[in-house]
Amino acid sequence: MKILLRRLIVITAIIGLSWGILTLWAERTGSARFVQLGNRSSKTRVLVVYDPDPFYDLDAKVCSSIAKALATHEFAVDLVSVAASPDSFDQYTLYVFCANTYNWRPDWSVAGLLRKHSLHNKPVVAITLGAGSTEASQEYFERLIARSGGHVVVSKAFWLWRPNNEQSSKSNVDVAVSQAYALGQSIAAGHANHDPYVTP
């Protein structure tokens, strides 16, 4: 019995250590990426922020799709990773924050960025990504944005493994990218017309 208990303790410790190392590796802030899109003289300036995922980089694909959709409405869009985010957010009129889900919480990099900035009750689009279970992370993310002074106008989850559209024959990533573009179009139309934000 003692030998079995010792083995169980060792196995548990190895699993815990491996999980901790994997979490630290996944949670580290990714590379600096900065792309400008749209009409640079537009009065509507949008900041789209994400932290590159070391596994599948779904966040970059989703955020790029949203940014491109917003840019078609002649908005000035800055698509940036956390490492390339500006020192001040005051110049923007609309924010899109995208967080990966690790251990049922939004990733440390995006969460840490939000804690450093005041959003001055401006509209925020919250995008939560995950393998398939994102409810707890999404709720926490929304609360975090609210504590930073942001006004969440749209909150949407996209999944890597859980079907984003069970009726589609496309790959799940392609579906997420397509839905993100439609979401960007909807957000842009609502913001330009001062209408309530409606997710497609």
Question: Domain limits of the chain?
Answer: 31-193
Q: Kindly state the average pLDDT of the residues 49-66.
A: 90
Q: Is the pLDDT of residue 151 over 50?
A: yes
Distance CA 102, CA 160 (A): 13
The torsion angle over the Cα atoms of residues 71, 89, 137 and 128, rounded to 10 degrees, is: 10
Give burial (CB, 10 Å; 0-12/13-18/19+) of 99.
buried
Where is 4: in which H helix or E strand?
helix 2-27
pTM: 0.83
Is 31-193 in CATH node 3.40.50.360? yes
pLDDT at 86: 94
Residue 62 confidence (pLDDT) above 90: yes
- Which position has the token pair 């997710």? 199
The least confident of 95-99, 160-164, 173-177 is 160-164
Q: In this model, does residue 139 exceed pLDDT 60?
A: yes
Residue 36 parent element (H or E): strand 34-38
Position 92 confidence tier, pLDDT thresholds 50, 70, 90: very high
**Residue 21: is its pLDDT beyond 80?**
no
Q: What is the pLDDT of residue 26?
A: 47
Tokens representing 16 are 């815990």
Average pLDDT taken over every residue of the chain:
85
CA distance 72 to 83: 26
Q: At what angle do helices 58-71 and 172-193 cross, to 10 degrees?
A: 30
Closest by CA to 66, choosing from 49, 81, 52, is 49
d(CA 14, CA 32): 33
